[in-house]
Amino acid sequence: MKNRSRTLAIFTLVTHKEKDGKLYGYSPYVSEINMWANHFEKIIVVGCFSKSKDIDRLEKQYAHHSVELFKVPVFNVKSVLGLLKLVFNLPHMIFKMAKAMQTADHLHFRCPSNVSAIAALVQIIYPKKSKTTKYAGNWDPRSNQPIGYRFQKWLLSNTFFTKNMKVLVYGDWKDKSKYVVPFMSATYNESEKVEYSKRDFSDRLKFVFTGAMVIGKRPLLTIKIIEALKNKGISSELHMFGDGPLIDDVKLYVKAHGLEDVVFIYGNQPKDNVKQCLLDAHFTILPSKSEGWPKAIAEGMFFGAIPISTKISCLPWILDFGKRGILIEPSVDSAVNTIIDSLEKGDLHLNQLSKKALEWSQQYTIDRLESEISKLVNK
């Protein structure tokens, strides 16, 4: 049962904008926060702020009727100037965070981020407050991560310094704190589920890449993999959704190598446009360097697109170590050989991968996510 007399405090690095008295933020984040906010009468957001009034297609309005923003400056500690700026602003930031925590009934941390790193320290003095952390990064304890990320993971899951906490992580990891809870995200509703239907892998193969055009997502490697498949006589096409600093490099590569009839670049697109492309895709591919929740992979699996991904973060677990997808190494030759090996096993094998991918992903709907959030905040 919802208890709407309470206040929720959120600590996030997301940059917010105000327009016509409404608060906006990064759309996937706001969509999920709206689910948490539905259980509270008031929302306090401790986060960064931009004076810009230009709202782009990746920004969305908070749905809640009572949202207050406690503004903190954008900062980093990668330079001497950044460190000095942090030292100067730190007392005021701590005061705002403490005020939000004192006011709120439930504290929700969005990690990893600079803002949540400071908030993780402040929360120690509020041991009786109900708390959750959404750790959107890679929880793999063996991964090489910045010290700030490792600090947040250690402190927020530490049962001595932190009390009354649930840390929601992607994947199920061994030797975890009792606070750590495997948790999934979701993009689609129960009503959007489709029945499994067999795909024909004997004709032109359709690959979909959905992700930011940044080094970490390796969009150029993705194109080179499809190009190599084409050069080996495997008819293929690649549909790319997403924007970022590498998009011009990606377009130049496609033009320079005469791949305009093979690689189609759309930039950022609405959810429904991506969905339409995924409905008949054979594969969804993401050879990224690091992932928290691999949204692009899970979305493709929801409609039966076979996932192709690198062996990082929780992806081997999501792909059941190759039983519902294809795990590759981040090199063109190795990836292409692995994909060809799967293709040579025939349609029966590929459709088994497709069906298992769909069945796994369709467990995690927005409806289920809302139910799980309700359990966490209404205990």
- Quick check: 227 and 240 in contact, CB under 8 A? no
Please compute, for residue 141, the number of CA atoms within 13 A of its CA located in the half-sphere on the CB side.
9
Domains of the chain by start residue, with CATH: 7-186+366-377 (3.40.50.2000), 190-361 (3.40.50.2000)
* Distance (Å, whole) CA 259 – CA 238: 10
Which strand (E) or helix (H) includes residue 6? none
The string of DSSP letters for 196-215 reads: ------SS-EEEEEES-SSG
Q: What crossing angle do the helices spanning 346-361 and 295-302 adopt, rounded to 10°?
A: 110
Regions of the chain with pLDDT less than 70? 1-4
- Quick check: 165 and 131 in contact, CB under 8 A? yes
List the structure tokens of 235: 């008819």
Helix, strand, or coil (residue 176): coil
Helix, strand, or coil (residue 346): helix
Number of neighbours of residue 196 by Cβ within 10 angstroms:
16
Q: What is the pLDDT of residues 309-338, one digit of tens each?
A: 999 888 999 999 999 999 999 999 999 999
Which strand (E) or helix (H) includes residue 241? strand 236-241
Pairing label, strands 7-19, 42-49: parallel
* Distance (Å, whole) CA 303 – CA 283: 10
Give the model's pLDDT for residue 4: 53
The sign one gets for the Cα dihedral 62, 42, 76, 287 is negative
Give the model's pLDDT for residue 270: 87
Which strand (E) or helix (H) includes residue 166? strand 165-169
The sign one gets for the Cα dihedral 342, 347, 352, 356 is positive
Helix, strand, or coil (residue 325): coil
Burial grade of 24 (CB within 10 A; 0-12, 13-18, 19 or more): buried
Give the model's pLDDT for residue 1: 43
**122: amino acid identity, one letter:** V
Q: What share of the chain is helix, strand, coil (3-state, %, to 5)?
A: 40, 20, 40
**223: amino acid identity, one letter:** I
Q: What is the pLDDT of residues 134-193, one digit of tens each?
A: 998 888 888 888 888 899 999 999 999 999 999 999 888 887 889 999 888 888 999 999
Please compute, for residue 216, the number of CA atoms within 13 A of its CA located in the half-sphere on the CB side.
10
- Quick check: 162 and 124 in contact, CB under 8 A? yes
Chain center to CA of 324: 20
